Amino acid sequence: MQNRVPLIAGNWKMHKNCSEAESTAEELVKLVSDVKNVDIMIAPSFVSLALVNKKINGSNISLGAQNIFWEKEGAFTGEISKDMLISAGCTYVIIGHSERRQYFNETDETVNKKIKTTLASGLKPVLCIGETEQERESKKTFSVLDKQIKNGLQSFILEDLDSLSIAYEPVWAIGTGKTATKEQAQEVHNFIRSLISKEFNSKLASAMRIIYGGSVKPDNISQLMNMSDIDGALVGGASLKSETFSKIVKFK
């Protein structure tokens, strides 16, 4: 994995009310306090961000948001701005998750705008990409990812992208218990890194964290992390219990 610091992130999706989020965060702080050389992030719902931030303050856990809107402020009912996320304590923003693409009309174009805003505000974007089962079966995996990356990162310059991570989340592996094999994931991660190298340069490509998401659990994390191009995980279901997530964080 070269010298890339792994990123293990928990995407809580639409789970946990405010007090549940607070108590999970509180437990997690204790469980992972001894972990070094791993970046740990949790992304609760918007309403819990500031509360969770208070619980993780001073710990080795960072706060992430599950979405962002690109406008600074204004009449955009239901949306959330970069300033709001920063004031709630966020460091990371998950962008373009397949559930947002599938249910909320997220497109490569909106993803592109959101990444732009995120980078300009000093927050760290985690760009999510991934193919559906049908696309994999019809051998379109690489062309789908190629398009998602090229369009999502269109018109960025090299200097912009230092803090970007990419999460490869095959849609067929999300919440299904069907993890990609370590070989399947490695093959795709290697493809993504080569594409970044071709589109930008090899220095950026070798520094960029490419993390895997899709049914990551305590019992499959180590084999995934052993692969040379897998730099961490974006965890859904298994991040909801502090004890389970802490085992993933301590994958070694």
Tell me how far, at minimum, the Cβ of 83 lies from ligand 13P, in Å: 25
What amino acid is encoded at 6 in this protein?
Answer: P
Radius of gyration of the chain (CA): 17
Pick the binder of ligand 13P from 30, 73, 175, 222 (CB under 6 A).
175
Residue among 25 and 204 whose Cβ is closer to ligand 13P:
25
Interface with ligand 13P, residue 232, by CB under 6 A = no
Q: For 122, list phi and psi in degrees, rounded to 5.
A: 85, 5
Tell me how far, at minimum, the Cβ of 155 lies from ligand 13P, in Å: 26
Pick the binder of ligand 13P from 63, 123, 234, 248 (CB under 6 A).
234
Residue/partner pairs of 172-177 with CB below 8 Å, 24 or more apart: 172/131, 172/132, 172/133, 172/136, 172/214, 173/213, 173/214, 173/215, 174/98, 174/99, 174/130, 174/213, 174/214, 174/215, 174/236, 175/215, 175/236, 175/237, 176/214, 176/215, 177/215
Tell me how far, at minimum, the Cβ of 107 lies from ligand 13P, in Å: 18
Interface with ligand 13P, residue 174, by CB under 6 A = yes
Which region among 21-29, 31-39, 188-196, 212-220 touches ligand 13P (by CB under 6 A)? Answer: 212-220
220: helix, coil or strand? coil
Size of interface with ligand 13P, in residues (CB under 6 A): 14
- CA terminus-to-terminus distance, the chain: 13
Active site residue 169: yes
Pick the binder of ligand 13P from 52, 123, 224, 235 (CB under 6 A).
235
Binding site for ligand 13P (CB under 6 A): 11, 97, 169, 174-175, 213-216, 234-238
